[in-house]
Copies of this chain bind each other. A is one copy, B any other.
């Protein structure tokens, strides 16, 4: 089955808006085993849209056309469709009725723009839009089925998912070349993309039905597994085998699969261990506390975070002895340890986690240049662990990876065993 996407709108060819509808729909189709052949973006120019409709209809079995269905004068996609099909635009009584109901509900009089939305190419099928005024329109042009939907992302997705995909699925049912797919996203931290790639490389020839893909979402690196097979059961089995083998090689670097966020994983580990946490942050300035408290229910494990930016606040809030600061400076292994131990004591928690470092672009010393970060983890009844990290990149990146480096010390500790001795 040949599928093409056609998106209309000046905003799409002038850089004002990035088309995110198409990648979303392409991914939906790909999961059904269908690869889109072409995605075409055209500005609001009548002859260009008409010409594009004729071209896509000459090649494709199914075309999703979006944009230009609204009430304003630059909405003329259906006009172009009628011209391409050689039929007139006619007022559809069913659509007019939907519009009347919708406008009445909102106490707005039906204006000339609204009437425009009721005019569809003669012979077209119409489908009600659950979230907006402009209906979905289905038109046969040659052997192609054209589905017209609004470009507004909410309405696009509702109609594409609720109305277009089921129709494509039905058409696929009778397609002898149909293939099936299964996906898994394994999310890792603490392992560079090139190392992730090299680690799983030996698996690739052993799993011929699975494509191994890599993506970076700093500070995370993702391994995307995609299985393709003639039946869904075979695709699922191929995926499960590749996933198990990948997890074995990557170990605890994999913190979650698919949609689960890092902070949410850590929240679960803390909650399961019945542990509580306090943080003392310097260069990360609250980034760790903010990530953890983004999780609903964080108050069960998160007691407090000191953003001890000035030295005196490291003393006052995190209980760092002035002598430690005087002897070792604020950016040192000793200060990081004192911050972790101090904040744990002040907050009375199971764990105390700290970060201090030079995020840049200025600061640093010859021994500890910009990008140097010390993290420490203090735990009830256990020696405090501290680590030094040399991080690359700009201020934002150093802060991001500093936060992750600290959180990883905690996650690995929680994975290693019971939190309270």
| A294 close to B395 (CB less than 8 A) | yes
Q: Which of B39, B360, B395 contacts A13 (CB 8 A)?
A: B39
Which B-chain residue is minimally distant from A303 (CB atoms)?
B310
Q: In the assembled complex, how far is the CB of residue A417 from the closest CB belonging to chain B, in whole angstroms? A: 26
Instruction: Tell me whether A392 is interfacial, beta carbon within 8 Å.
Output: no
Q: Which residues of B contact A27 (CB under 8 A)?
A: 14-16
| A43 close to B48 (CB less than 8 A) | no
Q: In the assembled complex, how far is the CB of residue A64 from the closest CB belonging to chain B, in whole angstroms? A: 13
A38-B13 in contact given A294-B396, A306-B317 (Cβ < 8 Å): yes
Q: Complex formed: what's the CA distance from A176 to B272 in Å?
A: 71
| A304 close to B296 (CB less than 8 A) | no
How many protomers of this protein does the assembly include?
Answer: 2
From A27, A37, A310, residue with most partner B Cβ within 10 Å: A310
Instruction: Tell me whether A288 is interfacial, beta carbon within 8 Å.
Output: yes
Q: Which of B15, B43, B307 contacts A306 (CB 8 A)?
A: B307
Q: Which residues of B contact A399 (CB under 8 A)?
A: 294
Q: Which of B26, B297, B305, B360 contacts A286 (CB 8 A)?
A: B305
CB within 8 Å of B: which of A21-35?
22-30, 35
A14-B41 in contact given A285-B305, A304-B307, A360-B296 (Cβ < 8 Å): no
Q: In the assembled complex, how far is the CB of residue A168 from the closest CB belonging to chain B, in whole angstroms? A: 15
Q: Which of B35, B284, B395 contacts A43 (CB 8 A)?
A: B35
Instruction: Tell me whether A52 is interfacial, beta carbon within 8 Å.
Output: yes
Q: In the assembled complex, how far is the CB of residue A101 from the closest CB belonging to chain B, in whole angstroms? A: 23
Instruction: Map CB proximity to B onto A342-374 as digits: 1 under 8 Å, 0 otherwise.
Output: 000011000000000000111000000000000
Q: Which residues of B contact A306 (CB under 8 A)?
A: 304-307, 317
CB within 8 Å of B: which of A46-61?
48, 52, 55
Q: Which residues of B contact A286 (CB under 8 A)?
A: 281, 285-290, 293, 305, 307
CB within 8 Å of B: which of A272-308?
279, 281, 283-290, 292-294, 296-299, 302-308
Instruction: Tell me whether A36 is interfacial, beta carbon within 8 Å.
Output: yes
Q: Complex formed: what's the CA distance from A14 to B292 in Å?
A: 34
Interface residue ranges, A against B (CB under 8 Å): 10, 12-20, 22-30, 35-43, 45, 48, 52, 55, 213, 224, 279, 281, 283-290, 292-294, 296-299, 302-310, 312-313, 316-317, 346-347, 360-362, 395-396, 399
5 pairs of residues in contact across A and B, judged by CB atoms under 8 Å: A13-B35, A38-B42, A285-B289, A286-B293, A304-B309
